[in-house]
Structure 1
Amino acid sequence: MATDDHNLSILEAVDSLRRLNIRKEGITLPNIVFIGDDSSDKNTVLESLAGGVTLPAVKLPLIIILRDNSEPEFHLEIATNPLKKVEETKIYETIETAMADIERKPGAISEVPVTLVVKKDGLPNH
């Protein structure tokens, strides 16, 4: 549909702006924030939204981009490293390793973002 193509173009433009880190310029983009106590099922909600992808508990900004795609495809971007393709079974481990590599005080919340792009059949484009 033309409307779907138009909406997808807008979402891709927002994604491009996010990668440029325009937040530093005081420009905000749409966000949903999950905050809660440990073991309060935040990850269960995120995993459900991300099409069943298994995610570790994170204490850093996790940006999840969803796209409808007939072939499953997954990409991770950590800090300023460009998006790289990753197997679904390696997402959990890759994010865990990235969190360990990002310098932060134990228990502190990092400002270094991780972006996960999930492309799967039937996902909404968000």
Structure 2
Amino acid sequence: MTVVRRADTRRTETPNAVMTTYASPTLGGSTQALWQVEMMPGAAGPRHTMDVEQVWTVLRGRATVEVSEEAYDLGPGDSIVLAGGVPRRFHADPTHGLTALVTGRGAAHAEVPGGATSIPPWIA
């Protein structure tokens, strides 16, 4: 059993969001990763794919999630299960932003079209 204390969580900032890692292969030794995403109002992440399934649950704010060619509007308490290999893009609500809790296999690979494949630091 491993306890990860709040003081040991890891914070990663990108141009689109702030991710707080609560558990991952390098934080607690879990095979799963658990992190929180905070996006400012109107922020949008890049279109990308993950090689594993992820589950996102909206805690506060709202989001529009583009999955392949579909768009889904999510609010507090809503969850979306995203299959691996499916293109997705998150858009935070222009007024309220987005705070979500996310889980998936740790050390998963992300790929941006035309870019390299890498393991995002918040799930490493």
Bin for the TM-score computed over the shorter chain: 0.3 to 0.5
Larger Rg: 1
The alignment's TM-score, normalised by the length of structure 1, stands at 0.34
More strand by share: 2
Q: Which has the higher helix share?
A: 1
